[in-house]
A and B are shown apart, each in its own frame.
Chain A
């Protein structure tokens, strides 16, 4: 099943709130997974 790249703009336009939500969750997860390096 090949990705139909032509439909990407449509998907982004249609689902941008969901994409933004997923990105936000990712930012939180990435932020919290950071551990300061021990000196």
Chain B
């Protein structure tokens, strides 16, 4: 029986060591995390999205044409007054692309890309702004920033070309996040779904 007691005691000791280690490991990480500040791990969906379905790259002109087609209602209804204009023409409600943004004029690197600013609206079209949070990767803060930039609608994002993406990327200090999270592709899909509905 002493042998059995010996085994039991050893097992209990091992268990105690394991539990102590668990608590220690958790506490160490908790302390390290608290010291480092709030560091959030990126949601797995955002990281997995680019790999989930590789898309054939489309030219910006084709993407723009498709987005305009999808954004327009099929019927003969009058076009909304503040429709996104193609890059070559500027209609009255659309903010002129060459208009320098007061917040960026101080940065010489961004002055060059003023013509790559995407078509912005002064105010949302009829029905108010779209819920841009439908695009994975856009949260409330980014949505508010996009509204500030004059981006109110999904089809505006769908019409971005590479230069537009780079411009918004620079404005929001994203370092390629728009491309990684496939905002434009998501916006195109959402526009297509909306057109079908």
Interface size classification for chain A = 20 to 34
The 5 closest A-B pairs by CB, nearest first: A26-B21, A30-B25, A27-B25, A30-B22, A30-B26
- Known contacts A11-B9, A15-B13, A33-B26; A22 and B33 CB within 8 A of each other: no
Determine if B55 is an interface residue (Cβ-Cβ < 8 Å). no
* Residues of B21-43 contacting chain A, CB below 8 A: 21-30, 33, 38-41
Interface contact tally, CB-CB below 8 A: 86
Binding site for B on A (CB under 8 A): 1, 3-4, 7-8, 11-12, 15, 18-20, 22-34, 36, 39
Determine if B98 is an interface residue (Cβ-Cβ < 8 Å). no
Number of B residues contacting the other chain (C-beta, 8 Å)?
A: 29
- Known contacts A30-B29, A34-B30; A25 and B18 CB within 8 A of each other: yes
Chain A residues positioned under 8 Å from B4 (CB to CB): 1
* 28 A-B residue pairings within 8 Å (CB atoms): A1-B8, A4-B5, A7-B9, A8-B9, A11-B13, A12-B13, A15-B10, A15-B13, A20-B17, A23-B21, A23-B24, A24-B21, A25-B21, A26-B18, A26-B23, A27-B24, A27-B25, A28-B21, A29-B21, A29-B22, A30-B21, A30-B23, A30-B29, A31-B29, A32-B25, A34-B26, A34-B33, A36-B38
